[in-house]
Amino acid sequence: MKKEYCGLFGIYGHKEAARMTYFGLYALQHRGQESAGIVTWDGTKIREQKGMGLVPDVFNERHLGTELKGNIGMGHIRYSTTGASLIRNAQPFIVRHGDLRLAVAHNGNLVNTFELRQELEAEGSIFQTTMDTEVFAHLIVKNLNGNTIEDAILKACQRIKGAYCMLIMANDKLIAVKDPNGFRPLALGRLDNKYVLASETCAFDLIEAEYLRPLTPGEMLVIQDGQLKSYTMDIPKQPKRQCIFELIYFARPDSYVFGDVVYERRKAFGAALAHEAPVDADFVMPFPDSGNYAAVGYSQASGLPLELAMIRNHYVGRTFIQPSQDMRDFSVRVKLNPVKSMIQGKRIVIVEDSIVRGTTIRTRVKKLRELGAREIHMRVSCPPIKFPCFYGIDFSSKGELIAANHPVDDIARFLGLDSLHYLTIPGLVNSVSEKDAWCLACFDGNYPIAPAPVRGKDCLETEYAPGIIKEYC
């Protein structure tokens, strides 16, 4: 199963900043379910509340109504990229330096974290966590002597490499930065005359904020006293390389991401699939919810009816009482169950958004066979994932990618399919607005930024604290 990125939300000058941030994080919950945090500025200090779990589990009315005072708010929901899933790695990350109170929230993954941390520790820095976010905070503080906070942040950005969008609260300033390649989405909006920032525009919709524009690659925005100022990083211009997986899988379909409507792009991927790989079948169906919108596009382009023959249980939590060993595949069946009368004797086209490891899909296809499906064809709305991602997606080794190790025909046999077709790279790129603006490294191995020699989200635990996961989890 794929894992999501993190989500960011910030608001400036609102009397209910904490509550608005809560709602913003709630709308972004799909981007991370490991931990959540909100910080506010009350005029003299940063107030914080962080915890493990989902947004409604971490915050209550006491936090939002009385404890998180202030009219500047910033929040983060996390899926860990670098750094284990521990409470001390929850964000935003807060530091004090003289009169400065600094909070940093990060969506992305830095590829040179290990080297920078070694350098900083050799110079005397002491670390509290195993996050790449803390490395960035140290770099900011290191560059403060004689510089403004804006200059210190821009100088810190010259040292880091990788994918990042960050929100930074520096006393009464709310600052946003986006990496020079533009890997991650971050949008600017306005609620009445108050500025808001979010990873996706669905967060604006919930609080009825107006979407203004996406941040541009290499941009830093500073909000102070209700005024907005934009800076450009003093870094050689890089080619725009937006993560195509935002449109394929990660973002909510009702969001604008990189200036594109996610719902429309996913339908376009499905339509492209129908043109590339038509099949004579009785109907098209998705595995909810990931394949829903590409399946709509495939159905409309092919003329085949769309049936929702697999029903999702929307009330399944993250944890439940585990069944006995003889109840095989329970975790798969508790989430999705087929409509049995729709399956027997039918020729079915299943549309999925991606195949990473294939084990879950294999179980679902097997169930359809047991129910009497005559033919099962699968169409996948992205190309085969053959290469690890070092910019935030949780498939960081080739060994866990089924398409990296097996040809398509072998994958089809492993999954129990009559046919299998992945959307081609040209088909994918021709279905989006910008044609030469995407990171496709997981498909073609062309990495915009060279991967680090020390890789993996647990690299700091492995090097600096090999017992940390056992000790603290």
Catalytic residues: 6
- Record the tokens describing residue 396, joined without a space: 């960081």
Q: Residues 204, 196: contact at Cβ < 8 Å? A: yes
Q: CB-hemisphere CA count at 13 Å for 218?
A: 13
Vertex 227 angle, CA 221 and 229, to 5°: 30
Using DSSP bridges, classify how beta strands 227-232 and 219-224 pair: parallel, antiparallel or unpaired. Answer: antiparallel
d(CA 324, CA 113): 42
Q: Could you give the CA distance from residue 198 to residue 22 in angstroms, rounded to a whole number?
A: 12
Residue 222 and residue 45 in contact, taking contact as beta carbons nearer than 8 Å: no
Which residue shows structure tokens 């960035």?
136
Residue type for position 234: D
Token pair in block for residue 165: 């969008």
Contact call for residues 204 and 214 (beta carbons, < 8 A): no
Angle at Cα 242 formed by Cα 238 and Cα 247, nearest 5°?
Answer: 170
The beta-strand segments (E) located in 386-457 are 419-422, 438-439
Residue of 6, 5, 11 lying closest to 206 (CA atoms): 11
Q: Are 323 and 347 in contact (CB under 8 A)?
A: no
Contacts of 235 (CB under 8 A, 6+ apart): 157, 158, 180, 218
Q: Which amino acid is at 393?
A: I
Q: Where are the alpha helices (DSSP H) in 38-164?
A: 55-58, 61-62, 113-122, 132-142, 149-157
User: In whole angstroms, what is the distance from residue 426 CA to residue 368 CA?
Assistant: 32
Cis peptide before 92 (omega within 30 of 0): yes
- How far apart, in whole angstroms, are the C-alpha atoms of residue 326 and residue 345? 29
